Every structure is written in C-alpha cells, then in structure tokens.
C-alpha cells in the first residue's frame, strides 16, 4: 500500500463567515475554487480540498495554539520561488497577518524558501518552494541525514 498525497484537510474555526472570507481570498489566489457542500465550506483544486467547520459552542472563542495536540501548521507547496513572493505581495495588499517574511530556511532543506502567515484564528499557514530533488530523496529513502533542531516551544 502507498499513500499518494493528502486528499483533504478540514479545519475547525471560531467564526465561519470570517474564515470563509479569508480562505476564499487566500485559497482563491492559490487556484482553489469553492465547491458546494451541504455540511461545511469546501475549497478545492485538482489535488486536494480544504474544508471549514464551525467549532462547537463550548469550544468557540478558544485561541488556536500550535503546540497543543492537533494541527501545528498547514504548508502548501509552491511551484516556484516567485509564487512565494507573489503570495506575500497579495497578503500585504489584503492586510493579512504575516508571521515571517519570505526567506530561505536552510535548516529545513537546501533551497527551502517560504512565507508564514496566520488565518483569522491564528493558525499558522506556510507557502513553500523547495526543489523536488532533495525531498524526493528523503521521502524515497525514508530518512533525512541533516541534523535537526529541537523545538524551542515558541508560540
């Protein structure tokens, strides 16, 4: 058996209208379109879907923290480095919260270039370009030879 990729990701949000507007802008810029669905809000492209669900009343208003059990962050793969810069320009124009400007992150992989930003609930989202060669080898071999940094417990 082999997994071919991620089929869908469903996110629970505090304010469905606010998050729908945010993800419609951001995912629309990344080539996703809204897909009619009777149970939640769904955006899709030819590779995957992202769904939005409203949190339960008991959970509503609780701030997201990526070091709790569950989602740490969501990373989308960019076709080319220039796409990362183009999304950054779009996010700036839209007034969307940038966590880390586009930059090289050699600690993740050679030629790893990424941008980090936050959704309305504070979920960290990454848009990354990393040439396939390095990670294809890591994925095929099942291990990464580079030393890794221990988590710093940042927020």
Would you list the domain boundaries of the chain? 7-55, 72-142
Instruction: Please answer whether residues 126 and 73 qualify as being in contact, where contact means their C-beta atoms are separated by less than 8 angstroms.
Output: yes
* Distance of alpha carbon 146 from alpha carbon 134, whole angstroms: 11
CATH top class, domain 72-142 = alpha beta
- Give CATH superfamily name and number for 7-55: 2,3-Dihydroxybiphenyl 1,2-Dioxygenase, domain 1 (3.10.180.10)
* Distance of alpha carbon 27 from alpha carbon 87, whole angstroms: 10
* Distance of alpha carbon 48 from alpha carbon 2, whole angstroms: 17
pTM, rounded to two decimals:
0.83
The pLDDT score that the predictor gives to residue 151 is: 52
pLDDT digits (tens, 9 = 90+) for 105-138: 998 888 899 999 999 999 999 999 998 666 666 6
């Amino acid at each position: 058996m082999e997994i071919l990729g991620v089929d869908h990701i469903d996110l629970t949000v505090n304010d469905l209208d606010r998050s729908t507007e945010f993800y419609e802008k951001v995912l629309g810029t990344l080539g996703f379109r809204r897909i009619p669905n009777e149970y939640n809000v769904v955006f899709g492209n030819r590779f995957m879907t992202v769904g939005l669900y409203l949190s339960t009343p008991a959970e509503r208003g609780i701030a997201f923290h990526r070091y709790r059990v569950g989602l740490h962050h969501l990373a989308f793969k960019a076709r080319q480095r220039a796409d990362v810069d183009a999304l950054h320009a779009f996010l700036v124009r839209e007034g969307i919260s940038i966590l880390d400007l586009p930059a090289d992150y050699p600690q993740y992989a050679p030629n790893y270039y990424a941008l980090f930003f936050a959704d309305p609930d504070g979920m960290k989202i990454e848009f990354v370009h990393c040439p396939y060669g390095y990670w294809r080898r890591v994925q095929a071999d099942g291990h990464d030879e580079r030393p890794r940094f221990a988590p710093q417990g940042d927020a």
